[in-house]
Structure 1
């Protein structure tokens, strides 16, 4: 419904390194777009739920929250916020304030009438049943990779409102192709069954085969599940580079996301001529565990040379995962084929955890009981060496790494990436292994 972007010619799109001649949206432009969109919905006297990402996504969520509140906070009967956590840990009151860019005094004063809700994916009492996606439909949505019925549950709070408004960024994504849109509902505020299913669907296709691709089987499953929510849905989809808001798209989640994904593809994908034998991928502070810092591998796997090493450099990280850490320690990090070729042993484990495992470990093979990952993945964190080895990852003492040793060495095959995790790196000519899996799994 509203956006601001410059037209980029095809040659420029294909050869640049992610730095586009784009114009940052000013606050008054954001307000104009949001006001026009909200006016089209007639929200006076209605109950409205804003659904926003947690702190692991870069976006001016605070600006959007304040703008929406200023425009409709006085006319709605209720205006609340739900954090689309997926399976991430709940946010504290202080963290929510930081996400919304408000003070503790503002929260109890100006915004005192707003309710703040953390999604609880693993609490059956917090979930409502939306039915089942039939096996034949899953077969169509997954391009025949799976044929199984998938139960769908969602946070039951969505039934307490007259309008859902999704507010979040769109980036290349390892599971869905691009994040955003209805993904803030599934898995953002969903139950575990559909979440586990489509994460494993994406893992079977593989991260390089799906990341940065727009219309994927996973996106089709997400949109299908979202269509079962009876409450009207609307979305503000943001396109970000660094910390700058360069695009804002408003409308039905499917159409707003589609426009934003096209813009993100032009802005958030870096094309390289050749792969690198060594990559130092630096996790920003917003990634506080490997569960989310794995994005430092996902976004760079396509440009690691065969036999090369990717180092996730995150001296601040001490946890594998607060929620899933014990399970990951037991299973470890492995390639997709390690699980598929021993499926009877792993089929009853949470598929979302298996998917995370394969995404971090990357492409590889498993033949005659021997696993051969394509690349080495090394953690330079506060996680001890014995733990790293036990979960099938390499170890570096973060204190031994000097950033300057990795800078300005691309011609030597060494790539340094500060603030990794949101920009996707691709080769201009992708190799065969990067084109996705064809495994049929019933």
Structure 2
């Protein structure tokens, strides 16, 4: 073996333990004279910074990390046909999807490709990772945009926490038809992080779909929390080192929406959120269209004058996912975005410094808390690590 490509998650999956695993693989291989390249699965996220790389991946030289350019640095392998999309979405989607991937995945100079990641409930696909790490993490714009939109149209609450969703079937099709001959081995973790300390419950390694299925079974046990009845007030904390945009911070919306009661309230404590989109174009689209609900976004999506939204289906899907459709209120408590900007995208706004006096993450414990004045809240210190569901309605 002469050359290996490692595809780990980026800093948004810090608690996956994939950083440590990547470090172990890197040193084990390089000590044996193997050349190793590292291509973080960014999707549309910002490249991993030098500081993030040091925290997550340890002493791997920063120059070994290759930024993924989802718009330009990909090759087209084929497409998932429209007829198949119609079949798996119950007739809700009618267009084919191009299968694009970073050109390095197809580089035959690599003797082994290690796709490392965490299996956890996910708003777009149902359960994250495996082929998603490839077709979204280092995939191209058509696959990223359309897969997200397929998930939004089909309905995220029909998919979260489940295997064999329409979006998962798109990726499975891509694996079977276009990547089956590539030397790809999946390294999948199932983790939780009580108190911020990573706890690894399972590690699944192999080159088949079986590793995904085994990991999903464990993640459904470890990463889905059922509450007995709908939560009236949910308070979610976003670690500023991990969440700097609502694009990522809206995991607080996605992962709790199945647990919050009708007429309830979601308060997002977001001291590190400074803008909306991960890149400037997506940020502009969020500001333009706002989190106005599924029907409003679909209506805007169909209007001939809104080509910018059609050209960025992933953003359109994100706007759908990030709205409660009026079922509960969403309040962002921030430090570096103005009230006018927050309200401009259809969230309620609050001062982080004011809210943290009453809802101090350092004092709240995970789950139900009763405050001195009798108010009952449900506190979640990191929404990325789980999925919360009202058992009465599941």
Report TM bin, short chain: 0.7 to 0.9
Post-superposition offset of 1:76: 5.9
For 1:209 and 1:194, locate their aligned partners in 2 and report how far apart those are by CA, in whole Å.
21
Which residue number corresponds to residue 210 of structure 1? 159
1:220 maps onto 2:182 in alignment: no
Distance 1:430 1:412 in 2: 24
Shift of 1:255: 1.7
Report the equivalent of 1:302: 258
Equivalent of residue 390 in structure 1, options 336, 340, 344: 344
Specify the SS of the correspondent of 1:401.
helix
Task: Please give the alpha-carbon distance, in whole angstroms, between the structure 2 residues aligned to 1:140 and 1:418.
Answer: 39
2:20–2:56 contact (8 Å) kept in structure 1: no
Shift of 1:150: 1.5
For 2:217 and 2:77, locate their aligned partners in 1 and report how far apart those are by CA, in whole Å: 30
Q: Shift of residue 131 of structure 1?
A: 1.3
| C-alpha distance in structure 1 between counterparts of 2:275 and 2:301, whole Å | 28
Which residue number in structure 2 is paired with residue 201 of structure 1?
Answer: 150
Match of residue 144 from structure 1: 91
Give every structure 1 segment of 4 or more consecutive aligned residues whose post-TM-superposition deviation is greater than 4 Å: 403-407, 410-413
How many residue pairs match? The answer is 368
TM-score by length of 2: 0.88
What's the counterpart of residue 429 of structure 1?
A: 392
CA–CA separation in structure 2 for the residues paired with 1:80 and 1:253: 23
1:190 matched to which residue of 2? 139
Partner of 2:353: 399
1:164 to 108, 113, 120: 113
Aligned counterpart for 2:381 among listed residues 396, 413, 418: 418
* In 2: Cα distance, 1:338 partner to 1:76 partner: 56
Matches of 1:135 and 1:250 in 2, distance apart?
33
1:330 and 2:288 correspond: yes
Q: Distance in 1 between matches of 2:251 and 2:163?
A: 18
In structure 2, the CA distance between the partners of 1:48 and 1:405, relative to structure 1 (3 Å rule), is: closer
2:182 and 2:254 mapped to 1: Cα distance? 34
Q: Does 1:319 align with 2:275?
A: yes
Counterpart in 2 of 1:116? Answer: 65
Q: Deviations over 1:189-223 (max 9, x none)?
A: 00100111110111112222211112211111112
Distance 1:348 1:419 in 2: 32
How far apart are the structure 1 equivalents of 2:357 and 2:7? 38
Asked if structure 2 preserves the Cα contact closer than 8 Å seen for 1:240 and 1:246, the reply is: yes
Aligned-residue CA RMSD (Å): 2.1
Contact kept in structure 2, 1:233 and 1:253, CA below 8 Å: no
Q: Hey, what's the Cα distance between the residues in 2 that align with 1:348 and 1:82?
A: 29
Query: Residues of 2 paired with 1:419 and 1:340: CA distance?
Result: 30
2:333 aligned with 1:380, yes or no? yes
SS of 1:415's equivalent in the other structure is strand
Deviates more, 1:195-204 or 1:276-285: 276-285
1:353 aligns with 2:308: no
Is residue 340 of structure 1 aligned with residue 298 of structure 2?
yes
Distance in 1 (alpha carbons) for counterparts of 2:33 and 2:78: 30
Cα separation, 2, equivalents of 1:117 and 1:342: 36
Query: Mind listing any 5+ residue stretches in structure 1 that lack a counterpart?
Result: 1-43, 109-113, 365-372, 432-442
Residue among 44, 47, 66 paired with 1:87: 44
Q: TM-score, normalized by length of structure 1?
A: 0.78
CA shift for structure 1 position 225:
1.9
Give 3-state SS (helix, strand or coil) of 2:8's partner: strand
Q: Deviations over 1:171-191 (max 9, x none)?
A: 100001011111110200001
Structure number with larger C-alpha Rg: 1
**CA drift at 1:412:** 5.6
Measured after TM superposition, the shift of residue 277 of structure 1 is 1.8
Distance 2:56 2:385 in 1: 18
Q: Which segment drifts farther, 321-330 or 344-353?
A: 344-353
Shift of 1:97: 2.9
**Could you report, residue by residue, the CA deviation over 1:55-76 in whole angstroms, capped at 9, with x for unpaired residues?**
0012222321232234433446
Structure 2 match to 1:274: 229
Q: Distance in 2 between matches of 1:147 and 1:253?
A: 29
Rounded to whole Å, the distance in 1 between the matches of 2:317 and 2:184 is 28
Relative distance call for 1:72 and 1:309 in structure 2 (3 A) is same
